[in-house]
Structures are given as C-alpha cells and as structure tokens.
Amino acid sequence: MKTIDEIRKLGADLSAETDALNVAIADAERALLSTRLGTIGRAPLPDGRGTLVFRKTEQGWGLYVELGDRLTPLRSSPRDTRVAAVPLLPTILESMTYAAEALEAQMREARSTTDAFAASTRVDGADVEDVEERERDETLGPGQVRVDVVLIFEGDDATRDALSAVDDALDGGQLQDAIGSIIEDRDLDLSIVSTVCR
C-alpha cells in the first residue's frame, strides 16, 4: 500500500496533468475558432456521458459537454470526461466543416433566389431608379408638369452667384421666373441646353 506522502505526490501530479490538459483543450478551442467557420460541431461521448459540442454561448465559443438541458464547459467537466473527449476533436472539426459546407450551399441558393426575385419585380425592364422616378411623377397634382432642366454656366463670380440663385429658386419652386430674371439682369452667357417635360 502507498504511503500518505506517495498519495499526496500522486494528487499533485494528477493536478499538474489536469492543468496541462486544460491548457491543451484551450489550445484546441483556439484552433477550432481560428477556422472562422462559425458553425456548431458535435460528437457523442462514450458511456452516456452526453455530447461533446463546439459552440457559442454567452461566454463565447468553446468546447462544452451537453447532457440533457445542461451545458458544461469541457474544462470544468470531470477529468475522465475530458480524457474521453480528446479523441473526438477531429470528429468535431469534421462536423463543423460539414455544417459550413451545407450552410454555404444554402446561402448560395438564397442569393440566387433573391437575385431572381429582384429581377422579376422590375417593371418592363426598368430598374429601381426608373420605378422611383415614376412614383415621383405620380405625385404631381392636376395641371402640374415635371420639368428637367440642364443649365450650362460660363463666367466668373457673377456666374457662381447666378448658379446659387438658381439653386435657391429650385428650393422655392419658382425656377422659370428665376431663370428669366437671371438671364435678363446679369447679362450672363447662360443657355438652357434642354428642357424635358414628362
């Protein structure tokens, strides 16, 4: 039979090995996290000990033992459970990879479906801006006409002042009067290139 000192030494050695195993488990968690897959990995533990899971919780991503409704960090689980979990790490990685591949395929399909939906909702081949423009036109009242005007200015500070006056007039909704008075009062080289009524 071992002496009490030998048993104490065994206890100290066991504690040191437990600490070293916990460091190794933390390294394994970091390695799994470094894959950036963001998927859950699962592997059943032997002897009804539950399921080894790599997943995200409030504490972050890590290895946990799932047993019923309980979720225990692997590093806090009984020592024999930790030992039983180590050979399952490749299975965890394989499970995560499979889940990521399935998710990627689902996301690719979802993107394709979304693109097809967006294409099918175009009005007579019009894009979103065309639709928005039509909606703006529909808000005009009786007798109102939308006018697009392109102005070309050449000149000095007076021209910039005139441009500012046109900008102010646009805000006030009195564009036609403003253009007439600017051309007349300031003797500017101003031409209305196009006026498009819709």
Mean pLDDT value across the chain: 80
Mean pLDDT of the 33-49 span: 95
Residues 151, 73 share a domain? no
Give the domain range for residue 93: 4-106
Number of folded domains that form the chain:
2
Alpha helices in the chain (DSSP H): 4-34, 79-85, 89-120, 128-137, 157-172, 175-186
Point out the domain boundary residue: 48, 82, 106.
106
Q: How confident is the model at residue 107 (pLDDT cuts 50, 70, 90)?
A: very high
pLDDT at 120: 83
pLDDT at 171 over 80: no
Quick one: pLDDT at residue 184? Answer: 64
Q: What is the mean pLDDT of residues 80-88?
A: 96
Tell me how far the alpha carbon of residue 37 is from its chain's centroid.
Answer: 15
| Residue 124 covered by a domain | no
Identify the burial level of 67 via C-beta atoms within 10 angstroms of its C-beta, where 0-12 means exposed, 13-18 middle and 19 or more buried: middle
**Tens digits of per-residue pLDDT, 111-152?**
999 988 988 877 555 555 665 666 666 666 666 656 555 555
Tell me if 135 is assigned to some domain. no
* 99/16 same-domain check: yes
Distance CA 100, CA 159 (A): 61
Quick one: pLDDT band at residue 2, thresholds 50, 70, 90? confident
Q: What percent of the chain has pLDDT over 70?
A: 62
First to last CA, the chain: 104
- The answer to whether residue 113 is domain-embedded is no
Does a structural domain hold residue 77? yes
Are residues 29 and 92 located together in one domain of the fold? Answer: yes
**pLDDT at 70 > cutoff 60:** yes
19 in the same domain as 85: yes
Q: Is 195's pLDDT higher than 50? A: no
Which helix or strand (DSSP H or E) is residue 57 part of? strand 51-57
What's the pLDDT at 197?
36
Determine the Cα–Cα distance for residues 134 and 114; give it in Å rounded to an integer: 24
For residue 138, the model assigns a pLDDT of 63
Domain C-terminal end among 45, 77, 106:
106
Residue-level pLDDT at 33: 96
Q: Tell me the mean pLDDT in the region 60-89.
A: 96
- The verdict on residue 116 lying in a domain is no
| The pLDDT value given to residue 183 | 61
